[in-house]
Amino acid sequence: MNEILAIVLIVFDTERVETEGQDWDQISDQEIADKFLFEFLFDARYMQADSYMVHDRILQLGVQLLY
């Protein structure tokens, strides 16, 4: 499982995008979808929470379903 966590963290780290302090609460959903979708999805500020969520889901699935 440690190897799987390492792979998840490497992928998240290589795909993150540094934004210029965008305040996503001040931008409408339509504008985010039209102009900033990639930056919103791969924002570095949320990478840690996303990686924990993915790792938790991997643990829920268990080793049998992964191999």
* Alpha carbon 59 to chain centroid, angstroms: 17
Distance (Å, rounded) from C-alpha 63 to C-alpha 45?
29
Please tell me the total count of domains within the chain.
1
Distance (Å, rounded) from C-alpha 32 to C-alpha 2?
35
Q: Which domain holds residue 52?
A: 2-66
Provide the residue type at 25 as one letter: D
Is the overall model pTM greater than 0.85, yes or no? no
Judged against a pLDDT cut of 70, whether residue 34 lies above it is answered with: yes
Distance (Å, rounded) from C-alpha 14 to C-alpha 66?
23
pLDDT in tens, 43-67: 877 777 888 888 888 888 876 776 6
